Amino acid sequence: MKTNPDASYLKTAVAAAKIGGDILRRRFGRIRRIDRKGRIDIVTDADRRSEQAIIAYLSKACPDHNILAEETPAVDRKSPYTWIVDPLDGTTNYAHSYPVYAVSVGLESRGEVVAGAVFQPATGELFTAEKGKGAFLNGARIRASRVDSPDKALLVTGFPYDIAEDPGITFPLFAAMCRSAQGIRRLGSAALDLCYVACGRFDAFWEAKLKPWDTAAGALIAREAGATVTDYAGRPYLCRMPSMLASNALLHTRLFGIVRKTGRDSGISVR
């Protein structure tokens, strides 16, 4: 019987996420250094330590694979496999001792994410997925919600770091969603936003100017839980696309319509 060569890599993703998460948990509330990459974009010593430990583990476990991580230069070994790592998603939360943060580790194979793990150290919640095998929270299968109307839906979003300099469609779309939805939250972690869509805590997530490490694992988990995941142009989402709309299948058409109408009304091209 043939086996899936990608299957064993989920265990690697889980182990890597937990290695980083353990470092973050032990250092939580004891940040020693915060550097600024931009006006409101920061990196802490915990980000770096988590990333170093994850990269060391992945380099030993899969020495031929590429690695794309947020805080260090990419490792290109000319492999069809690339590990995509966010060692601390929710850095601003973490720096303020607000316990909403996660580690995200996804494996991309020939342009498509095939395995992913998102670990939330503060709660011990581990979200996982393999392509075609469903999504799970601590080993129990999860599914996106069945809410079918925006006015009954709880949505979540995020704002790009350069929002003050280049707000783009962010504010008009936020206002349009506010007018349509039951409620909107902003957690500060795209990886958790997507996992919470996957398990039905939120009914949809949208955000622009995303990076691959923000979404690689989370988008797979949401999709495997039954969510529809596209970019703002309606194309099936890939982790190098800058914008995302992820929602349960019953809501997606209506929410996508809001995105498109907002772009037309505001004269802003959406992509």
Q: Where are the domains of the chain?
A: 9-142, 150-266
Please say if the pLDDT value at position 260 is more than 80.
yes
Count of residues in the chain: 271
What digits encode the pLDDT tens for the residues 69-101? 988 889 999 999 999 999 999 988 998 999 999
Residue 178 has pLDDT above 70, yes or no: yes
Res 41: pLDDT: 47
The encoded tokens of residue 78 equal: 């000319």
CB 150 within 8 A of CB 180: yes
Q: Which CATH class is domain 9-142?
A: alpha beta
When pLDDT is cut at 50, 70 and 90, the band that residue 35 belongs to is low
C-beta neighbour count of 72 within 10 angstroms: 14
Residue range 150-266 forms a domain whose CATH class is alpha beta
Whether 9-142 shares its CATH topology with 150-266 is answered: no
Given this model, what pLDDT does residue 33 score?
60
pLDDT of residue 166: 77
pTM equals: 0.92
Which residue has 């779309």 as its token pair? 173
